[in-house]
Amino acid sequence: MRILFVSRVDPLPPIGGEEIRAWHFVTGLAAHHEVDVLSFADPGASPERLAATREVVGAWKRIPRPAFSDLQARIRAYPRLVPKFVVWHQSTGFRQALDDAVRGGDYDVVHVYGLALAQYAPPLVGAGQPTVLDLMDSWGVLYRRYAAAAGGLSGWAYRVRARIVERAERRAVGLGTEVVVLSAEDRLALIGRGADGILITAIPNGVDSASHFVPTAAAATSADRLVFVGDMAYRANIEAMQWFATKILPTITAAHPSTKLVIVGKNPAPEVTRLAGDNVIVTGFVEDVRPYLEAASVVVAPIRSGAGIKNKVLEAMAYARPVVTTPVGAEGIPIDDGIHGYLRSTPQSFAEGVIQLLDDARLRLRIGSAARQLMIDEFRWESAVQRLVDVYERAV
């Protein structure tokens, strides 16, 4: 099968976020199919990461992302009732490159990666080119949750943004082509926007539990060490750490005074750096999260907003570390509470779950082992890629 993967991010060896899914899809597909790539270029990509992708794909065209300021994007977006991220990806050069590739490529299917690029799909569908939209998570769900958490004027602003992105989602799923999302919750949200459920397939991310996220020790190398991993400029992660540090951590440190919370992730916002203190360490960007997972007694994911499956939870579970998270943090992951991890919704119950794990090393080992086995059984990238190929075959 000849595939054109059209992406808003370079499919590079992943550091985090959307790159993880793009990289594993592209490399997994390239093992058995011909894969060309058209992507918006990451100007900071290292030569080593670029070379790793070039080794596995065919033709790869990288287009600079338009240099709109936030104000310019607002001026262009709001009168037309489109999301700012759509404007940030409006490029005549990208559209021309896509037209040229499809005209000369004889592709069996075009994979459009991200709601921001759904604007490029209508001409493809109109011309009869089999096309699959990978919307990942629902932005409408994301902003509705932000609104509920924020309240007041900020909540109103998020509700306005939710209506705008929901409009974009309705347009995307209204094209009548196959759509892929991350979780069953995202799928139901899009069906609620009028999408045909038959055309929407939930394909969760996998995790490399065979060769990358492999613990070298069954137990943590540090006592009373809590770890959170994520992009610390991302609103859901900022809110999670503020909530945890102010509402949950004091209860934990009262029982275990030596407890340290290590916040691991790039671009920490000022709200996050201000949390640093005697019991909180903020690392900023790290090349490899595995040493931090290795040291973790418990991984916490107190996510109350956001949407889609959480890579941070998959990776910690693959690393055989016990995870305490929320129902939102566990979306798309069949965690049996008390077996594969702990699901907690309130500050008190969350703190009690962490304390219970810190008190019992054997319990940590048992839950960590069950979590890793769940990842091995149900979250293999090979299975995700095969499900994607099944979607391609339906589209063709």
In tens, the pLDDT along 324-336 reads 999 999 988 999 9
The dihedrals phi and psi of 165, each to the nearest 5 degrees, come to: -70, -30
pLDDT of residue 239: 92
Residue with tokens 């916040």: 263
pLDDT tens, residue by residue, 228-258:
999 898 888 999 999 999 999 999 999 999 9
Whether the predicted pLDDT of 47 surpasses 70: yes
Q: How far apart are CA 4 and CA 16, in angstroms?
A: 23
Whether the predicted pLDDT of 308 surpasses 70: no
CATH (one of 3.20.20.100, 3.40.50.2000, 3.50.50.60, 2.40.50.140) for 225-378: 3.40.50.2000
Candidates 341, 375, 345; CA nearest to 356 is: 341
Q: What is the mean pLDDT of the chain?
A: 90
Contact 303, 329 (CB under 8 A): yes
Domain ranges of the chain: 2-206+380-395, 225-378
What is the share, in percent, of the chain residues with pLDDT greater than 90? 59
The torsion region of residue 344 among left (phi > 0), alpha (psi -120 to 50) and beta comes to beta
Whether the predicted pLDDT of 347 surpasses 90: yes
- Model confidence at 219, pLDDT cuts 50, 70, 90, reads low
H helix runs in 118-273, sequence order: 121-126, 139-150, 152-173, 184-191, 235-243, 249-255, 270-273
Whether the predicted pLDDT of 120 surpasses 80: yes
Give the CA radius of gyration of the chain. Answer: 21
Q: What angle do CA 21, 25, 31 make, to 5 degrees?
A: 150
Which superfamily does 2-206+380-395 belong to? Glycogen Phosphorylase B; (3.40.50.2000)
Whether the predicted pLDDT of 215 surpasses 80: yes
What is the greatest pairwise CA distance in the chain?
Answer: 66
Residues contacting 182, CB < 8 A, separation 6+: 136, 137, 202, 203, 204, 205, 308, 309, 332
Average pLDDT estimate for 193-213: 84
Contact 169, 115 (CB under 8 A): yes
Candidates 67, 73, 84; CA nearest to 168 is: 84
Is 225-378 in the same CATH topology as 2-206+380-395?
yes
pLDDT of residue 249: 98
10 Å Cβ neighbour count for 211?
A: 6
Average pLDDT estimate for 288-310: 88
Q: How far apart are CA 153 and CA 131, in angstroms?
A: 40
Dihedral sign (CA 345, 351, 357, 360) = negative
Contact 365, 219 (CB under 8 A): yes
pLDDT tens, residue by residue, 90-104:
899 999 999 999 998
pLDDT tens, residue by residue, 141-157:
888 888 887 778 888 88
Whether the predicted pLDDT of 220 surpasses 70: no
pLDDT of residue 302: 95
Residues contacting 380, CB < 8 A, separation 6+: 206, 209, 210
Average pLDDT estimate for 188-197: 80
Give the residue, 219 or 177, on which the prediction is more confident.
Answer: 177
